[in-house]
Chain A
Amino acid sequence: MEKILGLRHPSTLPLWSWLVLALLLLALLILLSASGDLLVPLLGRAAGPFDYLHEFAHDGRHLLGVPCH
């Protein structure tokens, strides 16, 4: 794998950028898929406010082609 990729070092990315990457992907997932309903198993009652985010981002989600209600 390393050879095919032509990587000289096992990882060229510093640790912080992996963290940023994870945070960005989490934010993206919450924006694109979250309704409070979906996050309930994860957050319990704290998922409520995401319903507002879900409704506010409603048109964008539909037009970006992500599944929605």
Chain B
Amino acid sequence: MVSAYLRRGMAAGLLAGLLAGLFAFFVGEPTLDRAIALEEASSGAHHEEVFSRSTQKAGLFFATGLFGVTVGGVFGISYSVFRERLAADSDFKRSVSLAGAVFAGAFLIPFLKYPANPPSVGDPATIRERTATYFTLVALSLLAVFLAWLAARALKSRGMDALRRRLLVGAGLVVAVSVLFLVLPAAPSTHGFPSGLLWAFRLSSFGTQVVFWAGLGLLFGLLCERANRKGVAA
């Protein structure tokens, strides 16, 4: 039943989102604060914000939580479609492998081309273009991962052995991603933003997403396994 997976996805997503929020709060916020301090020092004036910094930090949990619920819901519905077609032999393994694949397509590949930027790096005049190209790359990366999975299935059904199949599909994915990276516009310049702080920020952003997707895959898998044990019709 789709509704049971949708519910589990939203529950697992909310929890994973709040966990990712905790990680972002303790690891990411210090670098974000330093970036904002730099921004204010360089612009010379404290410009009036709609919300104070402490309100925005509470908003962090709102954002990651809402992100978690919505992504988790989409994940749950997708899982109900892919469940019968994934090679893994338990709901837990299937959940973790689907989460891994979506993580690669929705975050990891786009991140390699357009890594996260702290405040003050982006040029407000180009936000529309940057947002559009970013989500274009997210959609195309997800498509590339999906096609790689289809190709792997087709080769498997033709009896190709696992090693050759993985090498072939892996190479194909690398080529497809390289073409995407070459065709899409270059990432924006960081305009002399301190590279150490930039790297720390990007690592913490990467970590936030890793915590989220690991949490989603594990928690969703656990919820499915628990339902299986209880004998609830899936």
Does B124 make an interface contact (CB < 8 A)? yes
Say yes or no: A64 contacts B67, CB within 8 Å: yes
Find residues 122-159 in chain B having any chain A CB closer than 8 Å to their own CB: 122, 124, 127-128, 130-131, 134-135, 150, 153-154
B127 near A64: Cβ-Cβ < 8 Å = no
| C-alpha gap A6/B80 in the complex (Å) | 14
Cβ proximity bits A7-27 to B, threshold 8 Å, 1 near / 0 not: 000001110010011001101
Would you call the interface of chain A mostly helix, strand, loop, or mixed? helix
B119 near A4 with CB under 8 A, answer: no
Determine the chain B residues whose CB is within 8 A of the CB of A21 once the complex forms.
73-74, 77
Chain B binding site: helix, strand, loop or mixed by DSSP?
Answer: helix
Q: How many residues does chain B have at the interface if contact means C-beta atoms less than 8 Å apart? A: 56
Are A55 and B122 in touch, CB under 8 angstroms? no
Whether A57 contacts B59 in the complex (CB less than 8 A), given A51-B50, A67-B117, comes out as yes
Distance (Å) between the CB of B201 and the closest chain A CB? 8
A65, B207: Cα distance in complex, Å? 10
Bound-state Cα–Cα, A15 to B84, Å: 20
Residues of A within 8 A of B81 (CB): 12-13
Residues of B at the A interface (CB closer than 8 Å) are 2-3, 6, 21, 24, 28-29, 32, 49-51, 55-57, 59-64, 66-67, 70-71, 73-74, 77, 80-81, 84-85, 107, 110-111, 114-119, 122, 124, 127-128, 130-131, 134-135, 150, 153-154, 204-206, 208-209
Q: List 29 A-B contacts (CB under 8 A).
A: A6-B84, A12-B80, A13-B2, A13-B77, A13-B80, A17-B2, A17-B3, A17-B77, A24-B70, A52-B51, A55-B56, A56-B51, A58-B51, A59-B57, A59-B59, A60-B60, A60-B64, A62-B119, A63-B28, A63-B116, A63-B205, A65-B116, A65-B205, A65-B208, A66-B116, A67-B127, A68-B119, A68-B127, A69-B122
What is A's interface to B at a CB cutoff of 8 Å?
A: 4-6, 12-14, 17, 20-21, 24-25, 27-29, 31-33, 35, 37-38, 51-52, 55-69
